[in-house]
Structure 1
Protein backbone atom coordinates (compact mmCIF):
# COMPACT_ATOMS: atom_id res chain seq x y z
CA UNK A 1 0.00 0.00 0.00
CA UNK A 2 1.25 3.44 -0.95
CA UNK A 3 1.59 6.48 1.31
CA UNK A 4 0.28 9.92 0.39
CA UNK A 5 0.86 13.24 2.11
CA UNK A 6 -1.80 15.91 2.56
CA UNK A 7 0.27 18.81 3.86
CA UNK A 8 0.19 21.55 1.23
CA UNK A 9 -1.84 24.70 0.83
CA UNK A 10 -2.80 25.84 4.35
CA UNK A 11 -0.89 27.96 6.86
CA UNK A 12 2.80 27.11 6.72
CA UNK A 13 1.96 24.80 3.82
CA UNK A 14 1.01 27.86 1.78
CA UNK A 15 4.53 29.31 1.91
CA UNK A 16 6.48 28.81 -1.33
CA UNK A 17 9.70 27.65 0.32
CA UNK A 18 7.78 25.16 2.46
CA UNK A 19 5.79 23.86 -0.52
CA UNK A 20 8.99 23.25 -2.44
CA UNK A 21 10.73 21.62 0.53
CA UNK A 22 7.77 19.33 1.27
CA UNK A 23 7.46 18.30 -2.37
CA UNK A 24 11.14 17.50 -2.77
CA UNK A 25 11.39 15.66 0.55
CA UNK A 26 8.19 13.66 -0.08
CA UNK A 27 9.47 12.51 -3.43
CA UNK A 28 12.81 11.52 -1.93
CA UNK A 29 11.00 9.58 0.80
CA UNK A 30 8.90 7.66 -1.75
CA UNK A 31 5.52 9.15 -0.94
CA UNK A 32 3.13 8.35 -3.77
CA UNK A 33 1.05 11.52 -3.92
CA UNK A 34 0.95 15.09 -2.70
CA UNK A 35 -2.62 16.19 -1.90
CA UNK A 36 -4.07 19.68 -1.52
CA UNK A 37 -7.63 20.71 -0.70
CA UNK A 38 -9.70 23.78 -1.43
CA UNK A 39 -11.90 26.44 0.01
CA UNK A 40 -12.32 29.63 -1.99
CA UNK A 41 -14.18 31.30 0.87
CA UNK A 42 -14.07 30.91 4.65
CA UNK A 43 -16.29 32.76 7.11
CA UNK A 44 -15.71 33.58 10.77
CA UNK A 45 -19.00 32.14 11.99
CA UNK A 46 -20.44 29.48 9.72
CA UNK A 47 -23.90 28.02 10.20
CA UNK A 48 -23.01 25.18 7.82
CA UNK A 49 -22.00 21.87 9.36
CA UNK A 50 -18.54 20.53 8.51
CA UNK A 51 -19.15 16.84 7.74
CA UNK A 52 -15.69 15.53 8.65
CA UNK A 53 -15.69 16.32 12.38
CA UNK A 54 -17.99 15.11 15.12
CA UNK A 55 -18.61 18.67 16.34
CA UNK A 56 -19.39 19.93 12.84
CA UNK A 57 -16.62 22.54 12.95
CA UNK A 58 -13.66 22.79 10.60
CA UNK A 59 -10.33 22.99 12.43
CA UNK A 60 -8.73 25.44 9.99
CA UNK A 61 -8.99 29.05 11.23
CA UNK A 62 -11.02 31.30 8.96
CA UNK A 63 -8.11 33.73 8.62
CA UNK A 64 -5.52 31.10 7.63
CA UNK A 65 -3.83 31.32 4.23
CA UNK A 66 -5.33 28.78 1.84
CA UNK A 67 -3.64 28.52 -1.55
CA UNK A 68 -5.64 27.62 -4.64
CA UNK A 69 -4.81 23.89 -5.01
CA UNK A 70 -4.24 23.96 -8.76
CA UNK A 71 -1.68 26.74 -8.39
CA UNK A 72 -0.08 25.20 -5.31
CA UNK A 73 0.20 21.79 -6.94
CA UNK A 74 1.73 23.29 -10.09
CA UNK A 75 4.38 24.84 -7.84
CA UNK A 76 5.00 21.44 -6.25
CA UNK A 77 5.08 19.70 -9.63
CA UNK A 78 7.76 22.09 -10.88
CA UNK A 79 10.00 21.06 -7.97
CA UNK A 80 9.59 17.30 -8.59
CA UNK A 81 9.66 14.72 -11.35
CA UNK A 82 7.90 11.53 -10.24
CA UNK A 83 5.54 12.03 -7.30
CA UNK A 84 1.83 12.19 -8.06
CA UNK A 85 -0.21 15.32 -7.34
CA UNK A 86 -3.92 15.42 -6.56
CA UNK A 87 -6.63 17.76 -5.38
CA UNK A 88 -8.20 16.47 -2.23
CA UNK A 89 -10.65 17.91 -3.02
CA UNK A 90 -11.58 20.63 -5.53
CA UNK A 91 -15.14 21.87 -4.95
CA UNK A 92 -16.19 21.36 -8.54
CA UNK A 93 -19.73 22.83 -8.54
CA UNK A 94 -18.27 26.19 -7.50
CA UNK A 95 -16.30 26.41 -10.78
CA UNK A 96 -16.85 26.67 -14.52
CA UNK A 97 -16.24 23.13 -15.86
CA UNK A 98 -14.66 24.31 -19.11
CA UNK A 99 -12.09 26.31 -17.17
CA UNK A 100 -11.42 23.44 -14.75
CA UNK A 101 -11.01 21.05 -17.69
CA UNK A 102 -8.38 23.35 -19.18
CA UNK A 103 -6.61 23.90 -15.85
CA UNK A 104 -6.52 20.17 -15.12
CA UNK A 105 -5.21 19.29 -18.57
CA UNK A 106 -2.61 22.05 -18.30
CA UNK A 107 -1.43 20.73 -14.94
CA UNK A 108 -1.40 17.20 -16.32
CA UNK A 109 0.78 18.35 -19.22
CA UNK A 110 3.17 20.38 -17.09
CA UNK A 111 3.55 17.58 -14.55
CA UNK A 112 4.13 14.88 -17.15
CA UNK A 113 0.83 13.10 -16.52
CA UNK A 114 1.06 13.00 -12.72
CA UNK A 115 -2.20 14.78 -11.90
CA UNK A 116 -5.42 13.32 -10.46
CA UNK A 117 -8.50 15.45 -9.94
CA UNK A 118 -10.26 14.83 -6.66
CA UNK A 119 -13.64 16.54 -6.57
CA UNK A 120 -16.29 17.18 -3.94
CA UNK A 121 -19.72 18.78 -3.90
CA UNK A 122 -19.00 21.19 -1.01
CA UNK A 123 -20.68 21.70 2.36
CA UNK A 124 -20.56 25.45 3.09
CA UNK A 125 -23.68 27.31 2.00
CA UNK A 126 -21.92 30.60 2.80
CA UNK A 127 -19.20 29.78 0.28
CA UNK A 128 -21.69 29.02 -2.47
CA UNK A 129 -23.62 32.20 -1.68
CA UNK A 130 -20.45 34.29 -1.93
CA UNK A 131 -19.68 32.78 -5.34
CA UNK A 132 -23.22 33.20 -6.64
CA UNK A 133 -23.70 29.45 -7.17
CA UNK A 134 -26.87 27.65 -6.01
CA UNK A 135 -26.22 25.42 -3.02
CA UNK A 136 -29.16 23.20 -3.90
CA UNK A 137 -28.58 20.37 -6.41
CA UNK A 138 -24.83 20.77 -6.19
CA UNK A 139 -24.42 16.97 -6.44
CA UNK A 140 -26.29 16.89 -9.76
CA UNK A 141 -24.24 19.86 -10.95
CA UNK A 142 -21.02 18.01 -10.08
CA UNK A 143 -22.10 14.91 -12.02
CA UNK A 144 -22.96 17.03 -15.04
CA UNK A 145 -19.68 18.95 -14.86
CA UNK A 146 -17.58 15.78 -14.74
CA UNK A 147 -19.31 14.41 -17.82
CA UNK A 148 -18.73 17.72 -19.62
CA UNK A 149 -15.03 17.77 -18.70
CA UNK A 150 -14.54 14.19 -19.87
CA UNK A 151 -16.04 15.16 -23.20
CA UNK A 152 -13.54 18.00 -23.47
CA UNK A 153 -10.60 15.77 -22.56
CA UNK A 154 -11.36 12.96 -25.01
CA UNK A 155 -12.71 14.83 -28.05
CA UNK A 156 -10.67 17.14 -30.28
CA UNK A 157 -13.86 19.07 -31.01
CA UNK A 158 -16.28 18.73 -28.13
CA UNK A 159 -19.99 19.33 -27.73
CA UNK A 160 -22.02 18.73 -24.60
CA UNK A 161 -25.63 19.38 -23.69
CA UNK A 162 -26.47 18.92 -20.03
CA UNK A 163 -28.61 20.50 -17.38
CA UNK A 164 -25.82 22.69 -16.00
CA UNK A 165 -23.15 22.68 -18.75
CA UNK A 166 -23.69 23.35 -22.45
CA UNK A 167 -21.25 24.02 -25.28
CA UNK A 168 -20.95 23.14 -28.94
CA UNK A 169 -18.00 22.48 -31.25
CA UNK A 170 -15.26 23.83 -28.98
CA UNK A 171 -11.55 23.07 -28.82
CA UNK A 172 -9.93 23.18 -25.38
CA UNK A 173 -6.23 22.50 -25.53
CA UNK A 174 -3.99 21.06 -24.23
CA UNK A 175 -5.51 17.63 -23.89
CA UNK A 176 -4.40 15.20 -21.16
CA UNK A 177 -1.47 12.95 -21.97
CA UNK A 178 -3.53 9.79 -21.49
CA UNK A 179 -6.68 11.19 -23.08
CA UNK A 180 -8.37 11.57 -19.71
CA UNK A 181 -7.59 12.56 -16.13
CA UNK A 182 -8.54 10.30 -13.21
CA UNK A 183 -11.45 11.81 -11.27
CA UNK A 184 -11.70 10.76 -7.64
CA UNK A 185 -14.80 11.54 -5.58
CA UNK A 186 -14.48 12.90 -2.09
CA UNK A 187 -17.05 12.44 0.65
CA UNK A 188 -17.87 9.70 3.14
CA UNK A 189 -21.66 9.54 2.88
CA UNK A 190 -23.59 6.85 1.05
CA UNK A 191 -24.49 9.46 -1.57
CA UNK A 192 -20.81 10.19 -2.13
CA UNK A 193 -19.98 6.49 -2.40
CA UNK A 194 -22.76 6.07 -4.95
CA UNK A 195 -21.13 8.78 -7.05
CA UNK A 196 -17.85 6.84 -6.89
CA UNK A 197 -19.61 3.69 -8.05
CA UNK A 198 -21.59 5.43 -10.78
CA UNK A 199 -18.91 7.53 -12.45
CA UNK A 200 -15.77 7.97 -10.35
CA UNK A 201 -12.31 6.62 -11.06
CA UNK A 202 -11.71 6.34 -7.33
CA UNK A 203 -12.53 7.52 -3.83
CA UNK A 204 -10.77 9.86 -1.42
CA UNK A 205 -12.19 9.15 2.03
CA UNK A 206 -11.17 11.98 4.34
CA UNK A 207 -10.81 12.08 8.12
CA UNK A 208 -12.33 8.67 8.71
CA UNK A 209 -12.49 7.60 12.35
CA UNK A 210 -10.55 4.34 12.11
CA UNK A 211 -10.06 1.18 10.05
CA UNK A 212 -13.46 -0.16 11.11
CA UNK A 213 -15.02 2.97 9.64
CA UNK A 214 -13.10 2.38 6.41
CA UNK A 215 -14.35 -1.22 6.33
CA UNK A 216 -17.97 -0.05 6.58
CA UNK A 217 -17.47 2.43 3.74
CA UNK A 218 -15.68 -0.07 1.50
CA UNK A 219 -18.45 -2.63 2.05
CA UNK A 220 -21.03 -0.03 1.05
CA UNK A 221 -18.97 0.97 -1.97
CA UNK A 222 -18.78 -2.64 -3.15
CA UNK A 223 -22.57 -2.90 -2.83
CA UNK A 224 -23.08 0.27 -4.86
CA UNK A 225 -20.60 -0.96 -7.49
CA UNK A 226 -22.57 -4.18 -7.83
CA UNK A 227 -25.75 -2.17 -8.32
CA UNK A 228 -24.02 -0.01 -10.95
CA UNK A 229 -22.46 -2.98 -12.74
CA UNK A 230 -18.91 -1.90 -11.99
CA UNK A 231 -15.88 -3.82 -10.78
CA UNK A 232 -14.69 -2.22 -7.51
CA UNK A 233 -11.21 -3.53 -8.24
CA UNK A 234 -10.91 -0.93 -10.99
CA UNK A 235 -11.26 1.94 -8.52
CA UNK A 236 -8.40 3.73 -6.78
CA UNK A 237 -9.07 3.95 -3.05
CA UNK A 238 -7.25 6.55 -0.95
CA UNK A 239 -8.17 7.23 2.67
CA UNK A 240 -7.06 9.55 5.45
CA UNK A 241 -7.61 8.51 9.09
CA UNK A 242 -8.00 10.83 12.05
CA UNK A 243 -5.32 9.07 14.08
CA UNK A 244 -3.50 6.65 11.79
CA UNK A 245 -1.13 4.05 13.19
CA UNK A 246 1.36 1.89 11.30
CA UNK A 247 -0.46 -1.17 12.62
CA UNK A 248 -3.43 -0.12 10.44
CA UNK A 249 -1.56 -0.65 7.19
CA UNK A 250 -2.03 -4.40 6.79
CA UNK A 251 -5.77 -4.35 7.37
CA UNK A 252 -6.25 -1.33 5.09
CA UNK A 253 -4.43 -3.21 2.35
CA UNK A 254 -6.69 -6.23 2.90
CA UNK A 255 -9.69 -3.94 2.44
CA UNK A 256 -8.35 -2.92 -0.97
CA UNK A 257 -7.10 0.52 0.02
CA UNK A 258 -4.40 1.61 -2.42
CA UNK A 259 -3.13 4.64 -0.55
CA UNK A 260 -3.12 5.83 3.04
CA UNK A 261 -2.92 9.63 3.08
CA UNK A 262 -1.21 11.20 6.08
CA UNK A 263 -2.71 14.58 6.95
CA UNK A 264 -0.26 16.84 8.76
CA UNK A 265 0.87 20.46 9.02
CA UNK A 266 4.47 21.04 7.95
CA UNK A 267 7.02 23.01 9.98
CA UNK A 268 7.18 26.76 9.38
CA UNK A 269 10.94 26.69 8.79
CA UNK A 270 11.78 25.09 5.41
CA UNK A 271 15.02 23.75 6.89
CA UNK A 272 12.99 21.59 9.27
CA UNK A 273 10.84 20.10 6.53
CA UNK A 274 13.26 17.44 5.29
CA UNK A 275 13.71 15.72 8.68
CA UNK A 276 9.97 16.06 9.35
CA UNK A 277 8.98 14.30 6.11
CA UNK A 278 11.69 11.67 6.55
CA UNK A 279 10.39 10.99 10.07
CA UNK A 280 6.85 10.48 8.78
CA UNK A 281 8.11 8.06 6.15
CA UNK A 282 10.27 6.16 8.65
CA UNK A 283 7.31 5.65 10.98
CA UNK A 284 5.43 3.88 8.19
CA UNK A 285 8.19 2.11 6.31
Structure 2
Protein backbone atom coordinates (compact mmCIF):
# COMPACT_ATOMS: atom_id res chain seq x y z
CA UNK A 1 0.00 0.00 0.00
CA UNK A 2 1.30 3.42 -1.00
CA UNK A 3 1.64 6.36 1.37
CA UNK A 4 0.50 9.86 0.46
CA UNK A 5 1.07 13.20 2.17
CA UNK A 6 -1.60 15.91 2.38
CA UNK A 7 0.45 18.76 3.80
CA UNK A 8 0.68 21.48 1.17
CA UNK A 9 -1.27 24.66 0.55
CA UNK A 10 -2.58 25.76 3.94
CA UNK A 11 -0.92 27.82 6.67
CA UNK A 12 2.73 26.83 6.97
CA UNK A 13 2.27 24.65 3.89
CA UNK A 14 1.45 27.75 1.85
CA UNK A 15 5.02 29.08 1.93
CA UNK A 16 7.05 28.49 -1.23
CA UNK A 17 10.20 27.43 0.63
CA UNK A 18 8.23 24.95 2.73
CA UNK A 19 6.47 23.53 -0.35
CA UNK A 20 9.85 23.08 -2.02
CA UNK A 21 11.44 21.41 1.00
CA UNK A 22 8.49 19.14 1.78
CA UNK A 23 8.13 18.05 -1.85
CA UNK A 24 11.81 17.09 -2.17
CA UNK A 25 11.83 15.28 1.18
CA UNK A 26 8.59 13.42 0.43
CA UNK A 27 9.98 12.14 -2.86
CA UNK A 28 13.23 11.07 -1.23
CA UNK A 29 11.34 9.37 1.63
CA UNK A 30 9.21 7.25 -0.70
CA UNK A 31 5.84 8.97 -0.49
CA UNK A 32 3.69 8.20 -3.53
CA UNK A 33 1.65 11.39 -3.79
CA UNK A 34 1.55 14.98 -2.60
CA UNK A 35 -2.00 16.24 -2.07
CA UNK A 36 -3.39 19.78 -1.82
CA UNK A 37 -6.98 20.87 -1.23
CA UNK A 38 -8.98 23.96 -2.08
CA UNK A 39 -11.26 26.62 -0.79
CA UNK A 40 -11.55 29.82 -2.80
CA UNK A 41 -13.55 31.53 -0.07
CA UNK A 42 -13.72 31.14 3.71
CA UNK A 43 -16.04 33.03 6.05
CA UNK A 44 -15.76 33.75 9.75
CA UNK A 45 -19.19 32.48 10.81
CA UNK A 46 -20.28 29.84 8.31
CA UNK A 47 -23.79 28.46 8.59
CA UNK A 48 -22.95 25.63 6.20
CA UNK A 49 -22.25 22.22 7.74
CA UNK A 50 -18.72 20.89 7.24
CA UNK A 51 -19.26 17.19 6.47
CA UNK A 52 -15.87 15.88 7.64
CA UNK A 53 -16.12 16.72 11.34
CA UNK A 54 -18.63 15.64 13.95
CA UNK A 55 -19.28 19.21 15.04
CA UNK A 56 -19.80 20.42 11.46
CA UNK A 57 -16.98 22.97 11.73
CA UNK A 58 -13.85 23.09 9.60
CA UNK A 59 -10.68 23.23 11.68
CA UNK A 60 -8.82 25.59 9.33
CA UNK A 61 -9.11 29.21 10.54
CA UNK A 62 -10.93 31.49 8.12
CA UNK A 63 -7.93 33.86 7.96
CA UNK A 64 -5.37 31.16 7.11
CA UNK A 65 -3.48 31.31 3.85
CA UNK A 66 -4.90 28.80 1.38
CA UNK A 67 -2.95 28.53 -1.87
CA UNK A 68 -4.73 27.68 -5.11
CA UNK A 69 -3.91 23.94 -5.40
CA UNK A 70 -3.01 24.04 -9.09
CA UNK A 71 -0.42 26.74 -8.42
CA UNK A 72 0.87 25.13 -5.22
CA UNK A 73 1.22 21.74 -6.88
CA UNK A 74 3.08 23.29 -9.80
CA UNK A 75 5.71 24.45 -7.28
CA UNK A 76 5.88 20.91 -5.88
CA UNK A 77 6.11 19.37 -9.34
CA UNK A 78 8.94 21.70 -10.33
CA UNK A 79 10.95 20.62 -7.30
CA UNK A 80 10.55 16.88 -7.96
CA UNK A 81 10.72 14.30 -10.75
CA UNK A 82 8.79 11.17 -9.77
CA UNK A 83 6.30 11.74 -6.95
CA UNK A 84 2.62 12.02 -7.89
CA UNK A 85 0.68 15.23 -7.32
CA UNK A 86 -3.06 15.44 -6.73
CA UNK A 87 -5.78 17.87 -5.75
CA UNK A 88 -7.61 16.66 -2.70
CA UNK A 89 -9.96 18.15 -3.65
CA UNK A 90 -10.64 20.88 -6.22
CA UNK A 91 -14.23 22.11 -6.01
CA UNK A 92 -15.05 21.60 -9.66
CA UNK A 93 -18.54 23.18 -9.90
CA UNK A 94 -17.05 26.50 -8.77
CA UNK A 95 -14.87 26.64 -11.89
CA UNK A 96 -15.18 26.92 -15.65
CA UNK A 97 -14.56 23.37 -16.95
CA UNK A 98 -12.76 24.50 -20.11
CA UNK A 99 -10.26 26.46 -18.03
CA UNK A 100 -9.82 23.60 -15.53
CA UNK A 101 -9.26 21.18 -18.41
CA UNK A 102 -6.48 23.40 -19.74
CA UNK A 103 -4.93 23.99 -16.31
CA UNK A 104 -4.98 20.28 -15.48
CA UNK A 105 -3.51 19.27 -18.84
CA UNK A 106 -0.81 21.92 -18.49
CA UNK A 107 0.15 20.66 -15.02
CA UNK A 108 0.09 17.07 -16.24
CA UNK A 109 2.36 17.94 -19.17
CA UNK A 110 4.84 19.94 -17.12
CA UNK A 111 4.99 17.26 -14.41
CA UNK A 112 5.54 14.44 -16.89
CA UNK A 113 2.14 12.80 -16.40
CA UNK A 114 2.16 12.81 -12.60
CA UNK A 115 -1.09 14.68 -11.98
CA UNK A 116 -4.39 13.30 -10.67
CA UNK A 117 -7.44 15.53 -10.40
CA UNK A 118 -9.32 14.99 -7.19
CA UNK A 119 -12.66 16.79 -7.28
CA UNK A 120 -15.56 17.53 -4.95
CA UNK A 121 -18.99 19.07 -5.30
CA UNK A 122 -18.50 21.47 -2.38
CA UNK A 123 -20.33 21.98 0.89
CA UNK A 124 -20.17 25.73 1.63
CA UNK A 125 -23.16 27.68 0.36
CA UNK A 126 -21.38 30.88 1.37
CA UNK A 127 -18.54 30.03 -1.00
CA UNK A 128 -20.85 29.34 -3.93
CA UNK A 129 -22.76 32.56 -3.24
CA UNK A 130 -19.53 34.59 -3.27
CA UNK A 131 -18.44 33.07 -6.58
CA UNK A 132 -21.88 33.46 -8.14
CA UNK A 133 -22.53 29.78 -8.85
CA UNK A 134 -25.81 28.13 -7.79
CA UNK A 135 -25.38 25.84 -4.80
CA UNK A 136 -28.32 23.72 -5.91
CA UNK A 137 -27.67 20.90 -8.40
CA UNK A 138 -23.93 21.16 -7.94
CA UNK A 139 -23.58 17.37 -8.23
CA UNK A 140 -25.22 17.38 -11.66
CA UNK A 141 -23.06 20.34 -12.67
CA UNK A 142 -19.95 18.42 -11.58
CA UNK A 143 -20.82 15.34 -13.63
CA UNK A 144 -21.48 17.52 -16.67
CA UNK A 145 -18.17 19.33 -16.24
CA UNK A 146 -16.25 16.04 -15.96
CA UNK A 147 -17.74 14.78 -19.23
CA UNK A 148 -16.89 18.09 -20.92
CA UNK A 149 -13.28 18.00 -19.69
CA UNK A 150 -12.81 14.43 -20.86
CA UNK A 151 -14.01 15.43 -24.32
CA UNK A 152 -11.44 18.24 -24.36
CA UNK A 153 -8.62 15.93 -23.26
CA UNK A 154 -9.47 13.15 -25.71
CA UNK A 155 -10.43 15.02 -28.89
CA UNK A 156 -8.19 17.26 -30.97
CA UNK A 157 -11.27 19.25 -31.95
CA UNK A 158 -13.78 18.97 -29.14
CA UNK A 159 -17.50 19.55 -28.97
CA UNK A 160 -19.81 19.04 -26.03
CA UNK A 161 -23.48 19.78 -25.46
CA UNK A 162 -24.61 19.43 -21.85
CA UNK A 163 -26.87 21.17 -19.40
CA UNK A 164 -24.10 23.23 -17.81
CA UNK A 165 -21.27 23.11 -20.37
CA UNK A 166 -21.52 23.73 -24.10
CA UNK A 167 -18.88 24.28 -26.76
CA UNK A 168 -18.38 23.34 -30.39
CA UNK A 169 -15.28 22.63 -32.47
CA UNK A 170 -12.70 24.01 -30.06
CA UNK A 171 -9.02 23.24 -29.71
CA UNK A 172 -7.65 23.23 -26.16
CA UNK A 173 -3.98 22.37 -25.93
CA UNK A 174 -1.83 20.94 -24.50
CA UNK A 175 -3.34 17.50 -24.10
CA UNK A 176 -2.59 15.35 -21.04
CA UNK A 177 0.23 12.90 -21.47
CA UNK A 178 -2.17 9.93 -21.75
CA UNK A 179 -5.06 11.89 -23.29
CA UNK A 180 -6.77 11.50 -19.93
CA UNK A 181 -6.18 12.56 -16.34
CA UNK A 182 -7.35 10.30 -13.49
CA UNK A 183 -10.36 11.86 -11.77
CA UNK A 184 -10.85 10.96 -8.13
CA UNK A 185 -14.10 11.91 -6.43
CA UNK A 186 -14.09 13.17 -2.88
CA UNK A 187 -16.94 12.78 -0.41
CA UNK A 188 -17.89 10.04 2.03
CA UNK A 189 -21.65 9.80 1.47
CA UNK A 190 -23.39 7.09 -0.54
CA UNK A 191 -24.15 9.71 -3.19
CA UNK A 192 -20.44 10.52 -3.48
CA UNK A 193 -19.54 6.84 -3.74
CA UNK A 194 -22.17 6.43 -6.43
CA UNK A 195 -20.45 9.18 -8.45
CA UNK A 196 -17.21 7.23 -8.16
CA UNK A 197 -18.88 4.05 -9.35
CA UNK A 198 -20.69 5.73 -12.23
CA UNK A 199 -17.93 7.87 -13.74
CA UNK A 200 -14.95 8.33 -11.43
CA UNK A 201 -11.50 6.80 -11.78
CA UNK A 202 -11.09 6.64 -8.04
CA UNK A 203 -12.21 7.75 -4.59
CA UNK A 204 -10.48 9.98 -2.05
CA UNK A 205 -12.12 9.34 1.30
CA UNK A 206 -11.18 12.16 3.65
CA UNK A 207 -11.05 12.29 7.45
CA UNK A 208 -12.67 8.88 7.95
CA UNK A 209 -13.18 7.89 11.57
CA UNK A 210 -11.32 4.57 11.62
CA UNK A 211 -10.66 1.38 9.67
CA UNK A 212 -14.17 0.10 10.34
CA UNK A 213 -15.52 3.25 8.73
CA UNK A 214 -13.25 2.63 5.73
CA UNK A 215 -14.47 -0.98 5.52
CA UNK A 216 -18.11 0.09 5.41
CA UNK A 217 -17.47 2.73 2.76
CA UNK A 218 -15.38 0.39 0.61
CA UNK A 219 -18.07 -2.29 0.81
CA UNK A 220 -20.64 0.24 -0.40
CA UNK A 221 -18.32 1.41 -3.17
CA UNK A 222 -17.72 -2.13 -4.38
CA UNK A 223 -21.45 -2.86 -4.42
CA UNK A 224 -22.17 0.31 -6.38
CA UNK A 225 -19.38 -0.52 -8.84
CA UNK A 226 -20.84 -3.95 -9.49
CA UNK A 227 -24.29 -2.43 -9.96
CA UNK A 228 -22.76 -0.05 -12.52
CA UNK A 229 -21.09 -2.94 -14.35
CA UNK A 230 -17.58 -2.05 -13.22
CA UNK A 231 -14.87 -4.15 -11.64
CA UNK A 232 -14.16 -2.61 -8.20
CA UNK A 233 -10.50 -3.50 -8.67
CA UNK A 234 -10.31 -0.93 -11.47
CA UNK A 235 -11.20 1.92 -9.09
CA UNK A 236 -8.34 3.65 -7.29
CA UNK A 237 -8.93 4.07 -3.55
CA UNK A 238 -7.09 6.57 -1.35
CA UNK A 239 -8.16 7.37 2.20
CA UNK A 240 -7.18 9.69 5.02
CA UNK A 241 -7.99 8.73 8.62
CA UNK A 242 -8.57 11.03 11.56
CA UNK A 243 -6.09 9.15 13.74
CA UNK A 244 -4.09 6.83 11.51
CA UNK A 245 -2.06 4.06 13.10
CA UNK A 246 0.70 2.08 11.37
CA UNK A 247 -0.94 -1.07 12.74
CA UNK A 248 -3.88 -0.40 10.41
CA UNK A 249 -1.84 -0.83 7.22
CA UNK A 250 -2.46 -4.55 6.80
CA UNK A 251 -6.21 -4.37 7.15
CA UNK A 252 -6.45 -1.31 4.91
CA UNK A 253 -4.52 -3.16 2.21
CA UNK A 254 -6.86 -6.17 2.57
CA UNK A 255 -9.81 -3.84 2.04
CA UNK A 256 -8.36 -2.74 -1.30
CA UNK A 257 -7.07 0.65 -0.18
CA UNK A 258 -4.23 1.55 -2.53
CA UNK A 259 -3.02 4.66 -0.73
CA UNK A 260 -3.19 5.89 2.83
CA UNK A 261 -2.89 9.67 2.93
CA UNK A 262 -1.39 11.30 6.00
CA UNK A 263 -2.84 14.74 6.74
CA UNK A 264 -0.43 16.97 8.65
CA UNK A 265 0.87 20.53 8.88
CA UNK A 266 4.57 20.98 8.14
CA UNK A 267 6.91 23.06 10.32
CA UNK A 268 7.17 26.73 9.43
CA UNK A 269 10.96 26.50 9.12
CA UNK A 270 11.91 24.96 5.74
CA UNK A 271 15.17 23.72 7.27
CA UNK A 272 13.14 21.42 9.52
CA UNK A 273 10.87 20.08 6.77
CA UNK A 274 13.20 17.30 5.65
CA UNK A 275 13.50 15.76 9.11
CA UNK A 276 9.75 16.17 9.65
CA UNK A 277 8.90 14.28 6.47
CA UNK A 278 11.55 11.62 7.09
CA UNK A 279 10.17 10.99 10.58
CA UNK A 280 6.66 10.57 9.18
CA UNK A 281 7.93 8.10 6.62
CA UNK A 282 9.91 6.14 9.21
CA UNK A 283 6.85 5.79 11.43
CA UNK A 284 4.99 4.12 8.55
CA UNK A 285 7.67 1.89 7.07
**Pairing 1:136–2:136 present:** yes
Deviation of the 1:41 alpha carbon: 0.1
**Pairing 1:127–2:127 present:** yes
Find the counterpart in structure 2 of residue 63 from structure 1. 63
Number of aligned positions between the proteins: 285
Provide the C-alpha distance between the structure 2 equivalents of 1:57 and 1:6, rounded to a whole number of angstroms.
Answer: 19
User: What is the alpha-carbon root mean square deviation over aligned residues?
Assistant: 0.3
Provide the C-alpha distance between the structure 2 equivalents of 1:24 and 1:226, rounded to a whole number of angstroms.
Answer: 40
Find the counterpart in structure 1 of residue 39 from structure 2. 39
Provide the C-alpha distance between the structure 1 equivalents of 2:257 and 2:215, rounded to a whole number of angstroms.
Answer: 10
Q: Does 33-42 or 220-229 show the bigger shift? A: 220-229
3-state DSSP of counterpart to 1:62: coil
Find the counterpart in structure 2 of residue 53 from structure 1. 53
Find the counterpart in structure 1 of residue 264 from structure 2. 264
Find the counterpart in structure 1 of residue 187 from structure 2. 187
3-state DSSP of counterpart to 2:8: coil
3-state DSSP of counterpart to 1:194: helix
Provide the C-alpha distance between the structure 2 equivalents of 1:108 and 1:222, rounded to a whole number of angstroms.
Answer: 29
Provide structure 1 residue ranges, at least 5 long, that are not aligned to the other structure. none
**Pairing 1:231–2:231 present:** yes
Find the counterpart in structure 2 of residue 30 from structure 1. 30
**Pairing 1:165–2:165 present:** yes
Provide the C-alpha distance between the structure 1 equivalents of 2:19 and 2:280, rounded to a whole number of angstroms.
Answer: 16
Provide the C-alpha distance between the structure 1 equivalents of 2:129 and 2:44, rounded to a whole number of angstroms.
Answer: 15
**Pairing 1:106–2:78 present:** no
Provide the C-alpha distance between the structure 2 equivalents of 1:199 and 1:246, rounded to a whole number of angstroms.
Answer: 32
Provide the C-alpha distance between the structure 2 equivalents of 1:38 and 1:181, rounded to a whole number of angstroms.
Answer: 18
**Pairing 1:5–2:5 present:** yes
Deviation of the 1:255 alpha carbon: 0.2
**Pairing 1:198–2:198 present:** yes
Runs of 4+ in 1 over 2 A off after TM superposition: none
Provide the C-alpha distance between the structure 1 equivalents of 2:229 and 2:212, rounded to a whole number of angstroms.
Answer: 26
Deviation of the 1:226 alpha carbon: 1.1
Provide the C-alpha distance between the structure 2 equivalents of 1:241 and 1:92, rounded to a whole number of angstroms.
Answer: 23
Find the counterpart in structure 1 of residue 21 from structure 2. 21
